[in-house]
Amino acid sequence: MDYEPVEQLTEAHLADLHRLYAGEWWCKDRTLDETLRVVAGSSMVFGFTASGTLVAFARVLTDRIFKALVFDVIVDPAHRGAGLGDLLMRRILDHPDLRDVRTIELYCLPDLVPFYERFGFTTDLGGVLFLRRSIQRASRE
């Protein structure tokens, strides 16, 4: 199958992204409005399409000098195993605005650590701790 890279999403791609989010445990409750807002608030977006449909996606927040944070790396289940995750990460890391960023970070589950280690990511943060503040959202009833 031929995959085409995209760095801007059309309305149809945004609907595809919302569908991709709905299929994953970590983002299944995102609304279409939240999907639109999260893409608009991202510094950069990366994706791949197959026959015009968005089938792989990731987004980045960055200052383009010191830090970049990769979010929402997702590949449509029907297209997993085709190397799209590798292609997506390579496009991000090789992008001219990101290739010289001092620190690129991401979150992942333990079983995905070996995948990201292939790109130079590590769990050794030199004693730095990750802290989180969460806001409880109102129920969507």
Active site residues: 116
Q: How many helices (H) and strands (E) does the chain have?
A: 4, 5
d(CA 44, CA 112) in angstroms, rounded, equals 23
Amino acid identity, residue 62? T
Q: Which of 1, 13, 5 is nearest to 81 (CA)?
A: 1
Q: Residue 45: helix, strand or coil by DSSP?
A: strand
Tokens standing for 76? 């449509």
Residue 56 near residue 77, CB atoms below 8 Å: no
